[in-house]
Structure 1
Amino acid sequence: MQGKWTRMALFTVFAAMGVAGCGGPLEEEFPFDEQEELTQDEAGEVSALEQDKPPCKNVKASPKLLWPPNHKFHTVTLSGKDGYGEKFKVTIKKVTQDEPLNGQGDGNTEPDAKWVDDYKDRVKLRAERSGQGDGRVYRITFTAKDSKGKTCTGTVFVGVPHDQGGHSTPVDSGYIYDSFGY
């Protein structure tokens, strides 16, 4: 057969032949940034290319910043529209943060996250950060289902700045603590 082979055509041929190493599930911890691998959603459906999955990058957190750092809970909602203009069905899977639940200079309150009744797209986060640090970053990992039933997994970030001046952008230090205290 002559001509150009598209990625989809090559995938179809390799998949039909049962060629190993064609890809696999992506790590759920990382947001999807135009990756081109085989992926598998929760239902076990295989998607040939990342472009076939819903655009999880369209899911946003509101609010993105919590202020003032007064140790009170704020409800954070995840929402967004799929490629068809319909709302995603978002389910929060876990919440982590880059500061300990009871670290120095944070007020000694825990847990730092709570579920909001039966809502799967909302979580309460504590407006708190260490006064000795560079702000707190919460990582909210979720799955989103589009109006056609396809799913994707992603992560959004919510921050508590150190202050409103020169350190108003929270910095993710990379540490991982379960915000629910499990």
Structure 2
Amino acid sequence: MRGTWTKTALFTLVAMLGVSGCGGPMEDEGPTDEQEELTLDDGDMSALEGDKPSCKKVKADPKLLWPPNHKFHTVTLSGKDDYGKPFKVTIKKVLQDEPVNGPGDGNTEPDAKWVGNYRDRVQVRAERSGQEDGRVYCITFTAKDSKGKTCTSTVEVGVPHDMGGHSKPVNSGCKYDSFED
């Protein structure tokens, strides 16, 4: 009997190995819902496919914030698991690639705050340094599927430098805690 790997299983394996798309311009978040199957040469389907849900199905809404007017915008993380049921998403932390209070950003802080008791959403400030290449917020979360299995990942939300030629924020390394005052 021959086994198959789906794209979801392969992306899950890559995520488990710690490979991520950190740095560089914000990119699309991965595969579509199409399931491409790959054949294994030595037997049955791997048990890895059923071990963890795919965090790639969790998306941020909105993904880009504009205009950079220093106002808070609510970002919600959501997605459906392999069974068509909504994930239970819990945001763990929010980091950003520019200082919370740096040159050219309006001198406002903090840059993130919770939305009531909800943990699947957070408010982040629509601002960026006018001297840099746009701001990227890295929102780390845990998602639990309808079978109780969990995964952990990070989504990016950006504030472009402008809406012209520099409209894709560049992640220069999220190292600043957005909740800091």
* Corresponding residue number in structure 2 for 1:110: 109
* Corresponding residue number in structure 1 for 2:13: 34
Root-mean-square deviation over aligned CA pairs: 2.3
Are the equivalent residues in 2 in contact too, given 1:61–1:157 (CA < 8 A)? yes
Instruction: Give the direction of change, closer, same or farther, for the CA distance of 1:132–1:91 in structure 2 (3 Å limit).
Output: same
* Corresponding residue number in structure 1 for 2:143: 144
Quote the Cα distance in structure 1 between the aligned partners of 2:153 and 2:75: 16
Alignment of 1:4-153 (within 5 A): 34-35=13-14, 49=48, 52-153=51-152
Gap runs ≥5 in structure 1: 7-31, 39-47
Higher percent of residues as strand: 2
Task: Give 1 or 2 for the bigger CA radius of gyration.
Answer: 1
Structure 1 SS opposite 2:119: coil
Q: Percent identity?
A: 77
Structure 2 SS opposite 1:69: coil
Structure 1 SS opposite 2:56: helix
* Corresponding residue number in structure 1 for 2:32: none
How many residues are aligned here?
A: 146
Question: Alpha-carbon deviations, 1:62-115, whole Å to 9, x = none?
Answer: 000000000000000000000000000000000000000011000000000000
Alignment of 1:147-162 (within 5 A): 147-162=146-161
Superposition TM-score, scaled by structure 2 size? 0.75
Quote the Cα distance in structure 2 between the aligned partners of 1:80 and 1:155: 13
Quote the Cα distance in structure 1 between the aligned partners of 2:150 and 2:174: 28
* Corresponding residue number in structure 2 for 1:174: 173
Superposition TM-score, scaled by structure 1 size? 0.75
Moved over 3 A (4+): none
